[in-house]
Amino acid sequence: MATLLHIDSSVSPHGASVSRFVTETFRKVWEEQHPDGTVVYRDLAACPVPHFTADSCAAEPTHGRSHTPEQSFAATIRRRLIEELEDADAILIGAPMHNYTIPSTLKAWIDNVVLFGRTVGEGSMITGTPTTVVTSRGLSYAPGTPDEGHEYVQNYLDVILGHAMRLDVGFIVPEFTYAPHDPAVAALLPLFEWSRDRATKEAEARAKTAGGRSTADA
Ligand SMILES: Cc1cc2nc3c(=O)[nH]c(=O)nc-3n(C[C@H](O)[C@H](O)[C@H](O)COP(=O)(O)O)c2cc1C
């Protein structure tokens, strides 16, 4: 039976969030493809995971010490989040741009799940898991645009998820999401609508092929 790990991090609710709209589109198609599948959902805006602290660091199994209650708590959270990753046949992440990079809630999740010998490095069980990242943004940072060099979402996630964690990462990028709300950029509305429609189609297409390990299970 296939499992999808679905993570959202938009601070806007359903109906107002573009990344949630696109991840929901993906999820619906994925559920159609995997009627017996399981979706594990984390809304990091509604239920943030704790920031990485000294306790989280000391709780790493490699340290081999006895743990304080705080370290045990941190270790339990990390273990649970890592197991969710290891159990996933496909991963879906909503990662809107916040101040040129990812939301701090998503960074906290990443800091908790990155663990050498488990999710990074030789022997990692998550290598090659198909991963779709929906990274909405108010403007555009596409190659050739004036702000191209200020893109620290896709660049960063490609390194940490793709290079370090060796997930099979693909990005869906709805742009110009300020256009419906900000009169100063209202002229960009057609570009926003085009980008949102393209993102929706990409989500549908990726969901149909994001079976990963589940394909063998089916
Ligand atoms: C705190 C915050 C910071 C933002 N910073 C940027 C930014 O640096 N560049 C940008 O293009 N859009 C920025 N935005 C706009 C969001 O990326 C945009 O509204 C996007 O659609 C958010 O995703 P969502 O619709 O799923 O909530 C920011 C939004 C918030 C709330």
**What pTM, to 2 d.p., does this model score?**
0.95
The pLDDT of residue 136 is above 80: yes
CA 113 to each of CA 21, 25, 79, 136: distance values in angstroms, whole numbers, following the listed order: 25, 26, 8, 23
17, 99, 141: which to mutate for ligand 1, most atoms within 8 A of CB?
A: 99
| Band of pLDDT at residue 155, cut at 50, 70 and 90 | very high
Instruction: Report pLDDT for 217.
Output: 36
Interval 64-106: pLDDT, tens: 668 889 999 999 999 999 999 999 999 999 999 999 999 999 9
Looking at domain 3-217, its CATH superfamily turns out to be Flavodoxin domain (3.40.50.360)
Is the distance from the beta carbon of residue 103 to the nearest atom of ligand 1 less than 6 Å?
no
CA 158 to each of CA 48, 51, 59, 63, 135: distance values in angstroms, whole numbers, following the listed order: 22, 21, 27, 29, 12
The pLDDT of residue 59 is above 70: no
10, 97, 101, 151: which to mutate for ligand 1, most atoms within 8 A of CB?
A: 97
97 CA to centre of ligand 1 in angstroms: 5
Is the distance from the beta carbon of residue 100 to the nearest atom of ligand 1 less than 6 Å?
yes
Across residues 26-42, what is the average pLDDT?
97
Q: What is the DSSP string of 67-101?
A: PPHHHHHHHHHHHHHHHHHHH-SEEEEE---BTTB
Is the distance from the beta carbon of residue 12 to the nearest atom of ligand 1 less than 6 Å?
yes
140 CA to centre of ligand 1 in angstroms: 11
Domain boundaries, the chain: 3-217
The pLDDT of residue 218 is above 50: no
